A and B are shown apart, each in its own frame.
Chain A
Amino acid sequence: MGRRSVSAAPTSPESDVRRLIDEGYAVALVDGMLVVSHVPYLKPTGSVGRGELFVPVSMAGDRIVAPRVHTAWWIGDAPCETDGTTLRGVAVNAPSRMMLPGRGLARMLCSKPDGREFHDHHEFVATYIALLGGPAATIDPLATARVRARPVPVDLRSGDFAYIDTATPRAALTSFSDRIRGQTIGIIGLGGTGSYVLDLVSKCCVHAIHLFDADLFEQHSAFRAPGAATIDDLRARRRKVDHFASMYRGIHRGVVPHAVRIDAGTAPLLDVLDFAFVCIDDAAAKPPIMDRLAARGIAYVDVGMGLHASERGIVGAMRTTLVTPDDDGMIDRIPIDGDPDGVYSTNIQICELNALNAAFAVIAWKQHHGFYGVNRRVGNRVFVLEDGIVHNEELA
């Protein structure tokens, strides 16, 4: 392997071609030639035309190497200067060679940098296009060979997003994002808090986001969910996981819906996760989830809020509890007993508090992975609404 990679090292084989595509050239690889179409040039008549440029690709075995020749081929009229004279800087020959069946004869073009060959095929192509197009640009400044002015998103760059994340590099956060990159995340329960967790995680460079919930997306759900569900969304009577998967695949391609309730039987679905957000109301349903995550060494955040109506207004607390394979010291902060008599039950939930609790949960996940710095290792965090205070219980 060493010998081969050394001998073929000078250029990255696909990068020249990839760069041409990314820059918007209409380029294809045909029979060992790079064929660039829609190349502007000035015709002898003085009008701007479009021709096709053929550049031979120098190969070593199956690898593209630095160009060994500098002649190219051209299908089109003889390119001219603005004064009608023959194009300068390029020797243009008479049509002589059939490049593509039924397309007429091609002219050989000859130009090379002073004292050397082209460094790579990108320089080869770009130089010819600049020479051919120079006179045309003085007639039509908008004439360009980069006809795909907005390059199509390329998988290599957009990764798991549906389009390229331009926010992260803009703020120079890439090195921090690397700490959560590629993770497989699970959101168990898509109520108010779980749906806001999805809203936030969908903008992160994770590999996949698995959604687990068996409930329907109903009218009341719309008032505790991010975004603005339409009346058609409600009429569709879809499962929550399907509603949210279709919405959030608009930005993240790795959203995977599972219309199941997680219990001891379905808990193995969690095994693929790197991290889980447990956002379910039914405390009695948590033990099989927590047991499975613990058994597989998967860290998670459990969220929950308890709100009460008082004569002073609504009061209450929002809790986020982090449990990791290394430290489950706060696990007993998570309610796991049912409330069959409903003695605690208020079921007040308000979407800004769902959003806040979700934000705390996502922050806990990102702190756990070092995206956010920490001065204390918080295992249990409680925000008391009426006091405006965040209480932290630290891990040992």
Chain B
Amino acid sequence: MTDDNTDKNATDAAPSRGTMITQHQETPAKTILVNGREHRFAGEEIGRNELARLAFPAIETAGRGALTVAYDRGPLEAPSGILSAERKTRVLDGQTFSVSRTDKS
């Protein structure tokens, strides 16, 4: 995956990309569930934009307010919650994520 086009207007993805690359060798990949689907994730932390790309491979960025992102079975300091634009979560093996554009009524 190339990051050139995805990082340019992604506020929270850029630093995590760096982290992810440097830690790639030392952190064993974890299995996470995103919208009921298993993914292997090798990074330490994850934010909205990366989750958006896992959930919707066709999109480039989560965009403003477009997505509702929540997680469960996370780290002890914040085991579950909503990932707002400014938040990330440390990733544990087995952590579950819900990533939706909650616009249907």
Interface residues of A (CB under 8 A from B): 189, 191-194, 279-281, 283, 303-308, 310-313, 315-319, 332-337, 339, 341, 343-344, 346-349, 354, 357, 380, 382, 384-387, 389, 391, 393
State which size class the interface on B falls in.
20 to 34
Which residue of A194, A310, A319 contacts B36 across the interface (Cβ within 8 Å)? A310
Is there an interface contact between A337 and B63, defined as CB atoms closer than 8 Å? yes
The answer, yes or no, to whether B54 is at the interface (CB within 8 Å) is: no
Which residue of B59, B64, B105 contacts A332 across the interface (Cβ within 8 Å)? B64
Q: Given A313-B36, A332-B85, A382-B70 in contact, is the A308-B100 Cβ separation under 8 Å?
A: yes
Interface residues of B (CB under 8 A from A): 35-37, 55-56, 58-59, 63-68, 70, 72, 80-82, 84-85, 96, 98, 100-105
Which B residues touch A316, using CB under 8 A? 35, 98, 100
Q: Which residue of B lies closest to A314 (CB)?
A: B36
With the chains together, A260 CA to B24 CA distance in Å? 55
Is there an interface contact between B35 and A308, defined as CB atoms closer than 8 Å? yes
Is there an interface contact between A306 and B101, defined as CB atoms closer than 8 Å? yes
Task: Determine how close the nearest CB of chain A comes to the CB of B10; give it in whole angstroms.
Answer: 15
Q: Given A281-B105, A306-B101 in contact, is the A317-B56 Cβ separation under 8 Å?
A: no
Is there an interface contact between B35 and A304, defined as CB atoms closer than 8 Å? no
With the chains together, A198 CA to B101 CA distance in Å? 24
Q: Given A334-B65, A387-B98 in contact, is the A307-B104 Cβ separation under 8 Å?
A: yes
Is there an interface contact between B102 and A306, defined as CB atoms closer than 8 Å? yes
Task: Determine how close the nearest CB of chain A comes to the CB of B77; give it in whole angstroms.
Answer: 16
Is there an interface contact between A335 and B56, defined as CB atoms closer than 8 Å? no
Task: Determine how close the nearest CB of chain A comes to the CB of B47; give it in whole angstroms.
Answer: 16
Is there an interface contact between A380 and B82, defined as CB atoms closer than 8 Å? yes
Is there an interface contact between B105 and A389, defined as CB atoms closer than 8 Å? no
Is there an interface contact between B100 and A305, defined as CB atoms closer than 8 Å? yes
Is there an interface contact between A317 and B64, defined as CB atoms closer than 8 Å? no
With the chains together, A337 CA to B63 CA distance in Å? 9
Is there an interface contact between B100 and A391, defined as CB atoms closer than 8 Å? no
With the chains together, A21 CA to B58 CA distance in Å? 70
With the chains together, A303 CA to B103 CA distance in Å? 7
Shortest Cβ-Cβ A-B pairs, 3 listed: A306-B100, A310-B36, A304-B102
Which B residues touch A192, using CB under 8 A? 105
Q: Which residue of A lies closest to B96 (CB)?
A: A387
Task: Determine how close the nearest CB of chain B comes to the CB of A372; give it in whole angstroms.
Answer: 22
Which residue of B36, B101, B105 contacts A193 across the interface (Cβ within 8 Å)? B105
Is there an interface contact between A337 and B105, defined as CB atoms closer than 8 Å? no
Which A residues touch B85, using CB under 8 A? 332
Q: Which residue of A lies closest to B66 (CB)?
A: A335
With the chains together, A279 CA to B104 CA distance in Å? 8
